[in-house]
Structure formats: C-alpha cells, structure tokens
Chains A and B, each alone.
Chain A
C-alpha cells in the first residue's frame, strides 16, 4: 500500500542557482558575493599574490608609507604590509570559518535535542545556554583564554563556546516548528524511530536557514579573532593576524598611520562583504529567520 499523502515531506531546497541569481540581482548581494569570492581567491593564492614574504624583515625600510615598492608601506621591522595583510586573510578566515562551523555543529546538536525531546531536557539546556549567553562574547572569550592560554586553536575553541548558544536557540526554535508538521506526525504514526525523524525529516528542513546564519556570523568571528589578537591573547606573532598588525600599528600610531589604516580597511571590507551577503541570502532563502533569532552578540 502506498504511504499516505501526508507523509510526503516538503523538503526546503538548499540555496541553488535561482537563489544565486536573486542574490546577484541585488546590489548588496552582488557586493557581498564579490568580496567573499575575492577573499577566497586571496586565501587560496595569498602567498603567491604577496610581493614579499610575510615575515621578511628589512630594518632599513622600516615604517615607510605607501610606495611603488611597498604599496601599503612597511611596519616597524620593515615587513611589507600588503604581504602581511594578504596572508592575514588566511588567518582571519582560517579561524572564523572552522570556528563558526564548529559552533553550528554544537548548536545544532544541542538545539535539536532541546527542541525535539522537550520537557526537562529542554529546560536544562536552555538555562545552560542562557547562562553562557549572559557573558558578553569578548568577556567569555577572555575568561576562557585566561585558562586555556593564547593560541590559534584556543581562539577557535572560545569562539565555538561563545557562538554555539545562539545556534542552539535558533535550531531549537526551528525544530519546535518543524516537529509539529503533519508529515512528521505521519512518519511517527507509521512507526519511524526518533533518530530517523530527526536526521531524515527535521534536519534537512532546518539546515538551510542555519547555513544563512553561518554567513552572517563569519564577520563576527573574524572581528572576535582580530580583537583577541589585538589584545595579545589570541593568535601569536609572527603569524600575521589583522589584529596583530593593528596592535603593532597602535604602538607606533604617532610614527605611521598606515598599518592601522590598511588593516582596518581589510577588516571593514571583509565584515561588510560577509554581512551583506548573509543578509541578502537570509532575505532570499528564509525571511522567517530574522524573527526566530535573538539579537546577535558582536564585538
């Protein structure tokens, strides 16, 4: 006998070609996509594009302004700022992308369990998430780094811990809606196990809006990494994080403005590009998400 019509699951399509056309038809989306694609090219080709080695010192040319030899100038050790900023893109995205994906994975697991199981499990998980969200993201990150120590891996860990509660809340809200759908009821009536219902019927329907959040959280994660590195508790020298370039520039702000100017520009264009792409994707794929999501904590 054929399955009842109710069991036919209306799968939410993943962002496809039609969505891409909608994104590029909007100026903000086009700008965001261009920035993100440009950054990906820099991440892949960074060291090849860089005119000098990022740690190559030339004390004779220290603290220079922009010139034909050094388009962005040089820092206090005579290192080429353009090369350091280009390679720094790898550090920024190399921390932000895995950190946000890690937060997404943790948040999904916690949110799906809370939303699907409900009852006391939901209450306990929500209180724990509320507690973690009570700490301002930077302060929580600093508290954790005080114990874990400063390193690139630990920055990824603290971003995961800071961001996961936000994902858990959204995932929980989406699961609460999805599990009330008729096709889930029908599956349950047909004897489907909870794990199958979650993996086959609920997850595919909540993953698209969650992925949109990833695009919107990457700039926040980039800013957290740069901020922690600026304070000296994040990525450690000589790795060229944009935060470290800003910190070096800050110490010599009276001698040369260029490290601050160019590293700030890199950060601002990157965060603006990801934000505009994320917001356009959100509008195209799932406008509901703005309603279920709590206000995001940023630096």
Chain B
C-alpha cells in the first residue's frame, strides 16, 4: 500500500506540475504578441506595459513558465489587472461558494441516486426497472445548464417558491441553504442518473455472485442478504466515482453559478474571460484542476482502503 501511495502521490504531483506548465504556456499557443492575445488589439499602451511587466512577458518563455510555477507553489498567482488585488485573495473569496455547491450537489446525488439504483436492482426486468432506467438515461443526458434554466423557470419564475439570484449570506445559514436548493438540484440531476445506473449494475453483478447464492442456501432472509451483504459490496465502486463526480461538478458549476447569479469560481472565470483579466482566468483554472486531481486521488485511495480484494491483490503483486 505504501509503494502504491507513493507512486500515486508522485503521479498526482506530476500532473499538477504539468498543468502549471500548460497554463504557463497557454498564451504562447497562439502565434503573435501575447499581450495582444490577452488584452485584445485595442488595449492601451499603459495597460499593455503593465501586463507585459507583471506576467514577465519580456522574459524567455521557459523563464515565464518557471516564474509562474514558483509563484503558484507559493500561492502567488499575480494581481488582478483591474482591482490590483492579489489573485489568490479573489480566488479564496470565491472558492468556498463553489466547493459548497459541488458538495451539496454530490450529497443530493448520493441521497437520490443510490436508493434509485437499489430500487431498480430489487425489481430486475420489471416495468419499475425499465422506468428507472429511462429516468436515469434522461437525467444523464440533460446538461446542467438546461436543468438549471428549467428549474429557474418553474420554481423561481412561475411558482416564485425559491430564490433565483445570489447565494444569501453565510451569517444567515437558513437563507444560504434556501439559495442553495435550486443550483444544487440542477447540478445534481446528471449525477443522480449516473449513480442510479452504476449502483443498479453493481447490485445485479453482486447478486449473481456465489456468496449470495450460499447465503440464500443457508436460509438467510432475502432482505438481510440484499441490504447487508449485497449492497455493502455493490456500493464500493460508487465511492471511486464520487471523487470523479466532485471534479465533474466543479466544472459544471460554471453554468449553474451564471444562471443563478451565484458568486464562485465559475462566475469569476467567465467574468474574467469577458474582461480579459488573464491572471484570474489562469488562477481559477489552476485551482479547479488541483481540486479535481486531489479529489481523484482521495477517491482512488479510499477505494483501495475500502475494498479488501484490491488491497490484497496489491500485496500479492
């Protein structure tokens, strides 16, 4: 396990470093003056000079990339062109909103998706199974921004039941939660479908395994076999998916934050692209990527810890 842990940590670090290199090189992917690429052709001379100096664009490309990586490693991602505030400070203010949204969505997806999958698996081949299958596919294929817009129309515009704009305040938790309901449901729907399908398939696979047949032969109650012995093993692969799900939700949060006018990394990213505030674009992309990589690492390690078969296979190898 230790060897695997070290290898996995090394790989994670390498991916993070390469992501920084990619982001450092990004402005050089397009031929031409990087300042013009960042600010557009109509930028003033003063602003162009400022950007050139702050982003080390007079230096050789490799030096620029190195400076960006060293800065990022020290939590220094430069300054916002407009407000002159440190980018890390701006990102730190936006990050909690996005993380809370992604975690709330993931929680909702687990709460709805796992029981839906278990329910389908408990009625294999019936109309219930087919109906839940159709619902799952429909949810999976519904983009988060479509779900967000339809929820906004129904619950905020037509019924006026839930707030559609902003995030509320941390100082008023009830208000914050009310503002979180529609965005998190919009973001969770796709993952409700994914998890329902995954849990159903895993349950059916486990229910066909020899130890379940043995349990039946011993006369254990079907309910006990289904919920204690089958579900416990069928749920393990779902855990690995949650890490991936968190990363995926962080990406899709861009749309939901825009639709519900919530503060967060997504709103910051889109606003910064519109205002050509490149240090914030680069910083926000880096933060999201690091979070995704860490979530995948955590999921991978917890999967190995939870599933003794993988742990033992690792030892034998």
Interface residues of A (CB under 8 A from B): 28, 127-128, 130-132, 134-140, 142-148, 219, 223, 226-227, 230-233, 246, 249-250, 253-254, 257, 260-261, 264, 267-268, 271-272, 275-276, 279, 295, 297-299
* B153 touching A260, Cβ below 8 Å: yes
* B149 touching A231, Cβ below 8 Å: no
Q: Which chain A residue shows the least CB distance to B154?
A: A257
* A148 touching B143, Cβ below 8 Å: no
**A-facing mask of B252-275, CB < 8 A → 1, else 0?**
101100110000000001101110
* A299 touching B15, Cβ below 8 Å: no
A146-B251 Cα distance, complex, nearest whole Å: 16
What's the nearest-Cβ distance from chain A to residue B31, in Å?
Answer: 11
Report, as a range, how many residues of chain B touch the other chain: 35 or more
Stretch at the interface among B20-28, B89-97, B121-129, B176-184: B20-28
Contact with A246, one of B27, B146, B270, B292 (Cβ below 8 angstroms): B146
Contact residues in B for A134 (Cβ distance below 8 Å): 15-16, 19, 289, 292-293, 296
What's the nearest-Cβ distance from chain B to residue A271, in Å?
Answer: 4
Q: Does B190 contact A (CB under 8 A)?
A: yes
Contact residues in B for A254 (Cβ distance below 8 Å): 157
* B285 touching A139, Cβ below 8 Å: yes
* B292 touching A264, Cβ below 8 Å: no
Interface residues of B (CB under 8 A from A): 11, 14-16, 18-19, 22-23, 26-27, 29-30, 37-38, 137-138, 140-146, 149-150, 152-153, 157-158, 190, 241, 244, 247-248, 250-252, 254-255, 258-259, 269-270, 272-274, 276, 278, 281-282, 285, 288-289, 292-293, 296
Contact residues in A for B18 (Cβ distance below 8 Å): 127-128, 131
* B244 touching A295, Cβ below 8 Å: yes
* B241 touching A137, Cβ below 8 Å: no
Q: Which chain A residue shows the least CB distance to B40?
A: A149
What's the nearest-Cβ distance from chain A to residue B94, in Å?
Answer: 14
A179-B102 Cα distance, complex, nearest whole Å: 42
Q: Which chain A residue shows the least CB distance to B255?
A: A227
A135-B290 Cα distance, complex, nearest whole Å: 9
A215-B247 Cα distance, complex, nearest whole Å: 24
* B247 touching A253, Cβ below 8 Å: no
What's the nearest-Cβ distance from chain A to residue B200, in Å?
Answer: 14
Q: Which chain A residue shows the least CB distance to B270?
A: A231
What's the nearest-Cβ distance from chain B to residue A213, in Å?
Answer: 16
* A299 touching B252, Cβ below 8 Å: yes
Contact residues in B for A131 (Cβ distance below 8 Å): 15, 18-19, 22
* B278 touching A146, Cβ below 8 Å: yes
* A257 touching B19, Cβ below 8 Å: no
* A147 touching B270, Cβ below 8 Å: no
* A142 touching B146, Cβ below 8 Å: no
Q: Which chain B residue shows the least CB distance to A265?
A: B146
* B15 touching A230, Cβ below 8 Å: no
A143-B18 Cα distance, complex, nearest whole Å: 15
Besides A142-B254, A142-B270, A272-B141, 18 other CB < 8 A contacts? Answer: A128-B18, A131-B15, A135-B288, A136-B247, A136-B248, A137-B251, A139-B269, A142-B285, A223-B143, A233-B270, A257-B153, A257-B158, A260-B153, A264-B150, A268-B146, A272-B138, A276-B137, A297-B251
